[in-house]
Amino acid sequence: MMVIRPICQNDLKSLYRLAEKTGIGFTSLVTDEAVLQKKIDGAIRSFAKENVVSPSNEDYLMVLEDSTTGDIVGTCGILATVGLDEPFYSYHLGTITHASRELGVHNAIPTLILNNDFTGCSEICTLFLEENYRHSKNGQLLSKARFMFMAQFPERFTEKVFAEMRGVSDENGVSPFWESLGRHFFSIDFKEADELTAQGNKQFIAELMPNNPVYVNLLPQAARDVLGQVHQNTVPARRLLEQEGFRYENYVDIFDGGPSLEARVQDIRAVRDSRLCLANIGQPKGLCNTPNEGCFYLVSNAKVKDFRCILIQRSIPPGSAMTLTQEEADSLCIINKEPVRIVELSAYSGH
């Protein structure tokens, strides 16, 4: 069974192995054991915090574990806030109007303006799934389990949440947007700038980035074409978030031009539609034997430190009580009559 759980100290080697597979442009996972260890330590502290009444600097990093093999095959995370310890930068794609009544000219020109508008907001991040496991709805489980945690513990997050999506770059890590804009101010490769940011060295952005608006129509066509577009490997992740209610509001990454998607937490479908019920352990009605039978449901427990989330399949919609098999209950770390949170995996279809 595939199980989402908080990361633990024993996961360092597995997290490093995942980081090796992410590729250039994936700033939240880097192949540096010290950085990854710090991330794990921070996550363990965050999940251990009790009686949280408002979000601060918590980092809820989770992993997807194949309970059959014990392998860690994916990761996902939520930052309770960004930009409080160090500035969080993005570009906003806006418009400046140049007009002359005498000449009969009226031009609306798109511009990029450096800002810190996401300061203090929660961010979902660090979504990565091993290629061999990109099937059987594992990607949806990995992405949407975060919303089950947010639904259960809304006090730990801000009203608005956003996601920075990986922008377009080629197999060598060359970003058209960076080559057309960032390189002129930083005089380093996209890969190097990415690594500096991933390691927390962001002061150079404030020191070197232009504060004046950047006129988009002065950029080469190659840069304009990728503005607000995602890396080919990120297309499924963007689609999943948009299905849940996330929207692109003209904010893009300052390095690769990738879009930021945002939503109000209470408007996210999995948050809004999920419900708590009591778990019965036994033989469920409507247990499915084939992948094309019935509907899929996300089920999580109501715990912080021992949070768990799994995917189940039923041909009969669950009622006020949720009957789980012993294996499912064990995976959720619950006993009979404990509360669980449940929501249909997709708003559109169970398949």
Q: Which residue segments constitute the domains of the chain, with CATH numbers given? A: 2-91+114-269 (3.40.630.30), 275-344 (2.40.40.20)
Nearest C-alpha neighbor of 139 from the set 148, 147, 127: 127
Catalytic residue among 98, 106, 231, 351: 231
Supply the pLDDT for residue 190.
77
Nearest C-alpha neighbor of 82 from the set 115, 41, 47: 115
Q: Tell me the HSE value of 213 on the side-chain side, using a 13 A CA sphere.
A: 14
Task: Tell me whether residue 2 is exposed, middle or buried, using C-beta atoms within 10 angstroms of its C-beta: 0 to 12, 13 to 18, 19 or more.
Answer: buried
- In Å, how far from its chain's centre is CA 340? 23
The tokens of 315 are what?
A: 């041909």
**Cα–Cα distance measured from residue 214 to residue 39, given in angstroms and rounded to the nearest whole number:** 34
Supply the pLDDT for residue 100.
82
Supply the pLDDT for residue 351.
36
231 is catalytic: yes
User: Per the confidence metrics, is the pTM higher than 0.85?
Assistant: yes
Q: Where are the beta strands (DSSP E) in 83-232?
A: 90-100, 105-115, 122-129, 160-164, 214-215
Averages of pLDDT over runs of 10 residues in the chain (351 residues) are: 97 95 74 92 97 95 97 97 90 90 87 95 95 94 98 98 93 88 83 72 71 92 96 91 97 94 98 95 82 87 98 84 93 96 78 36
Q: What are phi and psi of 49, to 5 degrees?
A: -65, 135
